[in-house]
Amino acid sequence: MTQYDAIVIGTGQAGPPLATRLAKAGMKVAIIERKLFGGTCVNTGCIPTKTLVASARAAAVARRAREYGVVVDGSIQIDMKAVKARKDKISGASRTGLEKSLKSMQNCAVYEGQAQFESPREIKINGELIGAPRIFINVGARAIVPDMPGLDRVPYLTNSSMMDVDFVPEHLVIVGGSYVGLEFAQMYRRFGSEVTIIEKGPRLIAREDEDVSGAIAEIVEREGIHLRLNAECIRFEQGGNGPVAGVNCTVGPPDVRGTHVLLAVGRRPNTDDLGLEKTGIAADERGYIAVNDRLETNVPGIWALGDCNGRGGFTHTSYNDFEIVADNLLDGGSRRVSDRITTYALFIDPPLGRAGLTAAEAIRAGKRVLAGKRPMTRVGRAIEKGETQGFMKVLVDADTKQILGAAILGTGGDEAIHCILDVMYSKAPYTLLKQAMHIHPTVSELIPTVLGELEPVADSESSQAALPE
Ligand SMILES: Cc1cc2nc3c(=O)[nH]c(=O)nc-3n(C[C@H](O)[C@H](O)[C@H](O)COP(=O)(O)OP(=O)(O)OC[C@H]3O[C@@H](n4cnc5c(N)ncnc54)[C@H](O)[C@@H]3O)c2cc1C
């Protein structure tokens, strides 16, 4: 049995930088990948989808060119093979760059195949046993295929198989109205597909405040995307031209006839075929590995990082897991997962940037909430760009004066949110940001203004009612 100082399972967002740090610290390291180097973000998640979002935006801007006084001669055509080729090139460069750097690294052995625990200190890979006193699990997650009647009788796509699509589906039916579903919905609508989102809940992206969900629904409906909300008992059958989805909605016809179905109803951790039962590692009922604040499992010498520990679900949370583990192990740090502030974006156009609590969460936590809100129709930069959909909203704790959270749904919202996030990390009172001078004309320049117009939020689950528009 080959003995290492550390074994890393998975080459997602935490594994490779951790293997690099450990190898540079002089440890003999093994890293194992069963499929594509770089994992979800690089191959089937962030990078390819944001590349496709960029192509879709180019199409949308070209269609609006006249509004800006720009004449495009001829009709706007989508060359999906070229769209896919651009995506493959960008994602492929990232994958091969990572593979090369791992394979050329000193002190690091790369194994390709399925890793499985044989014991808490031993991993079986391609019939070989390797061992280490430290094992880091970074196995990620995959799309859930829900147990819906008839789904086994119709072809369906997931975020992974969508990466092979090099044509414009005539009618894409997307099951799931959250982050992944919404990004694919808008991009394929912009590529020319008819798109229907089927969502079993009463609103899109239900973890957000109602005003955010409502504004996102307006944005996508304005582009001609059909929404079927409250779709309980979703079922499928094969129709003459393609799959038919049955939806028991309160409004609209009972069937949606599409040509292609995309499942976007969540992710499940890749922990079911890892041999966890041979280690005593605790996992919850959905398979997420239980970790403490330092990302240690209940078995000494084994850590779990990234999507498989259920503490994040984003590339930046997985990378932050790496930073926490590396600092604590190698630099004598005492970093904790609970010190980080929730933040993420939804990359529709315009994007949603989010930080901290929603208003509903803050109220549920018993906070006295002040909020400032401004529609993008009153943001100079948005008007100049002709992109006035959405709004910005900042929440403040009336007692501590600290910022509790924010949502910036609008042009540049994915970038502007960071000025709020960084003030939250500094734990400074909101008045610091209220008095800051920002660059004109930007979206961020209105954040101090919004903070100067705070009003109490009513003690209700909805943040919408009490806020001025
Ligand atoms: C469509 C889509 C869009 C997304 N967009 C964004 C975004 O814009 N921004 C963002 O922050 N996040 C986004 N995400 C989420 C993000 O991609 C993930 O949170 C991130 O990739 C998680 O990384 P990870 O390190 O946990 O694991 P992963 O990147 O999933 O990597 C895990 C790796 O482990 C390998 N593996 C699994 N089991 C084994 C085994 N037993 N043996 C060997 N190897 C194994 C897998 O093959 C994989 O390569 C998106 C996700 C999807 C699906």
pLDDT per residue, tens digit, the chain (469 aa), is 999 999 999 999 999 999 999 999 999 999 999 999 999 999 999 999 999 999 999 999 999 999 999 999 999 999 999 999 999 999 999 999 999 999 999 999 999 999 999 999 999 999 999 999 999 999 999 999 999 999 999 999 999 999 999 999 999 999 999 999 999 999 999 999 999 999 999 999 999 999 999 999 999 999 999 999 999 889 999 988 889 998 876 667 789 999 999 999 999 999 999 999 999 999 999 999 999 999 999 999 999 999 999 999 999 999 999 999 999 999 999 999 999 999 999 999 999 999 999 999 999 999 999 999 999 999 999 999 999 999 999 999 999 999 999 999 999 999 999 999 999 999 999 999 999 999 999 999 999 999 999 999 986 544 454 454 4
Tell the CATH topology of 344-456: Enolase-like; domain 1 (3.30.390)
Architecture category of domain 2-141+268-339 in CATH = 3-Layer(bba) Sandwich (3.50)
Contacts of 40 (CB under 8 A, 6+ apart): 12, 46, 140, 141, 307
**What is the domain partition of the chain in residue ranges?**
2-141+268-339, 151-265, 344-456
Question: Dihedral (C-alpha) 259, 165, 269, 53: value to the nearest 10 degrees?
Answer: -100
Q: 440 catalytic, yes or no?
A: yes
448 lines ligand 1 (CB under 6 A): no
Closest ligand 1 atom to 306 CA: 26
Closest ligand 1 atom to 115 CA: 42
Tell me which long-range contacts 2-5 makes (C-beta under 8 A, separation of at least 24).
Answer: 2/30, 2/109, 2/128, 2/129, 2/130, 2/131, 3/28, 3/130, 3/131, 3/132, 4/28, 4/29, 4/30, 4/109, 4/130, 4/131, 4/132, 5/29, 5/132, 5/133, 5/134
210 lines ligand 1 (CB under 6 A): no
CA of 308 to the centre of ligand 1 (A): 9
Rounded CA-CA distance 461/280 in Å is 41
Rounded CA-CA distance 196/181 in Å is 10
Rounded CA-CA distance 67/432 in Å is 39
CA of 88 to the centre of ligand 1 (A): 17
Tell the CATH topology of 151-265: FAD/NAD(P)-binding domain (3.50.50)
Estimate the crossing angle of helix 15-24 against helix 315-330, to 10 degrees. Answer: 20
314 lines ligand 1 (CB under 6 A): yes
151-265 and 344-456: identical CATH topology: no
Atom 3 in ligand 1: residue holding the nearest Cα: 45
Overall pTM surpassing 0.85 (yes/no): yes
113 lines ligand 1 (CB under 6 A): no
Closest ligand 1 atom to 305 CA: 26
CA of 432 to the centre of ligand 1 (A): 37
Atom 53 in ligand 1: residue holding the nearest Cα: 45
Closest ligand 1 atom to 319 CA: 25
274 lines ligand 1 (CB under 6 A): yes
Ligand 1 pocket test: which of 90, 137, 139 has the largest number of ligand atoms within 8 Å of its C-beta? 139
315 lines ligand 1 (CB under 6 A): yes
Rounded CA-CA distance 254/240 in Å is 17
